[in-house]
Structure 1
Amino acid sequence: MEIGIIILCLILSAFFSGMEIAFVSSNKIYLEIEKKQDDFISKILAKLTQKPSKFIATMLVGNNVSMVVYGFFMGDLLMHWFATFGYQFSDLTNLLLQTTLSTLIVLMTSEFLPKVFFQIYANTAIKVFALPAYFFYWLFYYISSFMLWISDFILKKFFKTEGDQINLSFSKTELGNFITEQMNAVEDHESVDSEIQIFQNALEFSGVKARDIMTPRTELVAVDLHSSIVDLRTLFIETGYSKILVYFNSLDDIVGYVHSFELFKKPRSIKSVMIPVEFVPETIFIKDVMSLLTKKRKSVAVVLDEYGGTSGIVTMEDIVEELFGEIEDEHDSDEALSEEQIDHKNYLFSTRLDVEYLNETYNLGIPESDSYTTLGGYIVDFSKEIPQKGDQITIGNFLFNIEEASNKKIELVKITIID
């Protein structure tokens, strides 16, 4: 019977400590949605979360009661076992042994493991165990209410602060996490509502920097300021772009851009129809770039590196695409970035793919750093040179085979995971 009571106390302690951490770790938006469901569990959740501090206080009271009963019976049981096996210790040694053994058992069975489990599956646990939690909520209702009254009295009397004032609103992070969880739960064959995708993009929008979406320097198309209008017209026809950058001597000195509509004015020189550009650092957030371009009524910003050289450009279209998704026009190329999983150990990727995206999609575990954002940047940052076609580079447990490359950049790489 003693062993049964001890096991029951450990189970109850695990339940109370687990529910406490589950309530704190659960997504508040998930709870609000569950509370809106018209069923029995939703009503229970609504009552449990009506006063969060009282629920947590109830779990603490239950946990302490369980531990007191556990300590009483566990001490007697250990003393009985010591006597049965003929061990005789002093009172101090007995106390130390009882405390050590009892604490180890409690930490493993009722504290560490339950809290890890309940924290990982917080949303599910808070819903599954809502009914027993509600039972103990009312069982210890008056005790927890009395303890809260004492704590509020002390806070108001001695610390001059308000008592139980807990903000029930949810944060932007919780909203983003909830939407991400729902997006990850969607099967590959199911389509995601475009409004949901836009909503998720909007939540991530404030954390995106210019260097994350810019067109890199190597892909810029530009014309010299002193070139002729004929050369400019030819470049418009060859590229199909609506805007062409204008530089003075080199790409590190971009002075503006020309819109194709300006050619209808039959200008005599490029300078007469050139529109000045704005300059921004790589680390600026695109929300700030958007605000700057809107105020200046411009559509192109030149992104500068830490040395003041041209790193790339960001257009208003790039920023809008980050929010609403890819916008295709008649001049966009149908060629997409290569992205193929050959088998569970071999992949074929374009080096322009972001390292963060590859880690999230394929769980590769490629190290991320502020020194680079793309796969090509990672390889160059490690090798300190631009590899050529046919080269093999081993970095950690990855073998990179350079499939396509030029003297300026890597285009395509095959990744093999090494055991």
Structure 2
Amino acid sequence: MDVTVIIILLSLLLSAFFSGMEIAYISSNKIYIEIEKKQGGFISVILSKLTAKPSKFITSMLIGNNIALVIYGFLMGEILVNWFSTFENSSNGFYTYLFVDLKLLSQTVISTVIILITAEFLPKVFFQIYANTLLKFFALPAYVFYLLFSVFSEFSMWISNVILKIVFKTTDDDPTLELSRVELGNYISEQMEAIEEDAPVDSEVQFFQNALDFSTVKARDVMVPRTEIIAQDTEDSLDELRHLFIETGCSKVLIYKENIDDVLGYVHAFELFKRPKSIKAVLRPVEFVPETMLVKDIMNTLTKKRKSMAVVIDEYGGTSGLLTLEDIVEELFGEIEDEHDKDEMIEEQINQQTFKFSARLEVDYLNETYKLGLPEDDSYETLGGLIVNKTEGIPQLDDEVRIDRFVFKILEASSTKINTVQLEVHNIE
């Protein structure tokens, strides 16, 4: 009996191993596997051989799992039969009737529950969570079974290919390993999370992350908001326009008629050297794009039309913001500062739990930089947008707003927007 129990436990352990390795390979990050295969060393060689033929590896794990389950079922059934026979001889009345008549059902239920919990559900959940690590850790024993069941797996694959070819007119060739955008994004996110809080992030890693997110970025996520657009009325004088160029250091200024919602175009500072007679004489057309348009499409449009800026309009046709090629490039490569850029953003950590921020700072940037865990949503991008979204209004000076474990104190605000806030992060007990 002791030997039988040991074999049953061993078969359960092997079944858990085969089930886990199967789900680990399916759930693992293919980029992680490829990188590990390039590292060199014994384990890298084993991983290369295991993943050379994915179908054969999966088939080998299935064969091993089936063999383990057959051994378990045979021996477990024998133990349960003996146990039920003993119980039948030592009991009388209702219980004898119940167990004798339901013997087969009881044996099936008991065996199935044990195998589902110990060899299917738990190992598959565990191996799925730690797929990359466990696939590498158990690569050697998996390769041993891979070689052991090689003949059986090749035969099984041959039969399945014959059936697929004759019945379904197709084949089951192993597909080449394709690394999807999602897998690359997951791998880079894992590397970013593994970096210590105070450690610098490699520019290459940051660039890859920005590039992956770039395809989903919309115009409203990158644009300069309407309230910060530098523009001039078409009826103003050239001297006023010249002074505006000098004061701001901008190379281009939007020109509108009566109000900012009626943009006519823009003027380049270089045009003033031509001594024009009026602003309209040097006015250049500007591109108009909707808020929801993807930045990558805007970049293609501006490049084809040889333009460097676009006016972002809202759903009602009003001016929502301004977008330049520099803004788009910064979305990929990070902030590009020149001699005319002014650092107007306030970003100060007072102590471990207290911060002073400009309301225009983006929520995802603050979460990534300070590990705050501020709530993120598609309906807002900035810290001010988060507060306004939650309060459904614009708080005034010295107002305090509590959002989950975050308390915001308004340090500077106007009737139309929040400028500066103090953030206190409270620990939830």
Fold match (TM-score > 0.5): yes
Structure 1 residue aligned with 2:57: 55
Give the aligned residue type for 2:43. I
**Percent identity (aligned):** 61
How far 1:343 sits from its partner (Å)? 3.1
Equivalent of 1:20 in 19, 22, 28 = 22
Other structure's SS at 1:399 match = strand
Structure 1 residue aligned with 2:358: 350
Deviates more, 1:269-278 or 1:395-404: 395-404
Post-superposition CA distance 1:261-303 (Å, at most 9, x none): 2221222211111221111111111111111111111111111
How far 1:360 sits from its partner (Å)? 4.7
1:52-91 matches, within 5 Å, as 52-83=54-85, 86=91, 88=96, 89-91=98-100
Structure 2 residue aligned with 1:314: 323
Post-superposition CA distance 1:25-71 (Å, at most 9, x none): 11222222222333221221111111100100111111111122222
Compared CA separation, residues 191 and 294, structure 1 to 2 (3 A): same
Task: Confirm or deny that 1:301 pairs with 2:310.
Answer: yes
Structure 2 residue aligned with 1:405: 413
Cα pair 1:15 1:114 within 8 Å, conserved = yes
Cα pair 2:185 2:209 within 8 Å, conserved = yes
Cα pair 2:218 2:291 within 8 Å, conserved = yes
Give the aligned residue type for 1:412. T
Structure 1 residue aligned with 2:289: 280
Structure 2 residue aligned with 1:4: 6
Structure 1 residue aligned with 2:377: 369
Give the aligned residue type for 2:216. G
Post-superposition CA distance 1:99-141 (Å, at most 9, x none): 3333332232222222222122212111110110011111111
Structure 2 residue aligned with 1:133: 142
Separation (CA, whole Å) in 1 of partners of 2:115 and 2:364:
40
Other structure's SS at 2:63 match = helix
1:12-411 matches, within 5 Å, as 12-83=14-85, 86=91, 88=96, 89-91=98-100, 93-187=102-196, 190-338=199-347, 340=349, 342-343=351-352, 346-361=354-369, 364-411=372-419
Separation (CA, whole Å) in 2 of partners of 1:348 and 1:78:
69
Other structure's SS at 1:313 match = strand
Deviates more, 1:295-304 or 1:354-363: 354-363
Separation (CA, whole Å) in 1 of partners of 2:401 and 2:201:
38
Cα pair 1:211 1:282 within 8 Å, conserved = yes
Cα pair 2:345 2:357 within 8 Å, conserved = no
How far 1:312 sits from its partner (Å)? 0.8
Compared CA separation, residues 397 and 181, structure 1 to 2 (3 A): closer
Separation (CA, whole Å) in 1 of partners of 2:395 and 2:248:
28
Give the aligned residue type for 2:173. D
Can you give the 5+ residue segments of structure 1 that lack an aligned partner in the other structure?
none
Cα pair 2:289 2:298 within 8 Å, conserved = yes
- Structure 1-normalised TM-score? 0.92
Give the aligned residue type for 2:309. V
CA RMSD of aligned residues (A): 2.3
Give the aligned residue type for 1:118. F
Deviates more, 1:237-246 or 1:130-139: 237-246
How many residues in Structure 1 have an aligned counterpart in Structure 2?
A: 418
Compared CA separation, residues 35 and 389, structure 1 to 2 (3 A): same
Can you give the 5+ residue segments of structure 2 that lack an aligned partner in the other structure?
none
Give the aligned residue type for 1:353. L
Cα pair 2:345 2:360 within 8 Å, conserved = no
Separation (CA, whole Å) in 2 of partners of 1:83 and 1:361:
67
Cα pair 2:84 2:99 within 8 Å, conserved = no
Separation (CA, whole Å) in 1 of partners of 2:238 and 2:150:
83
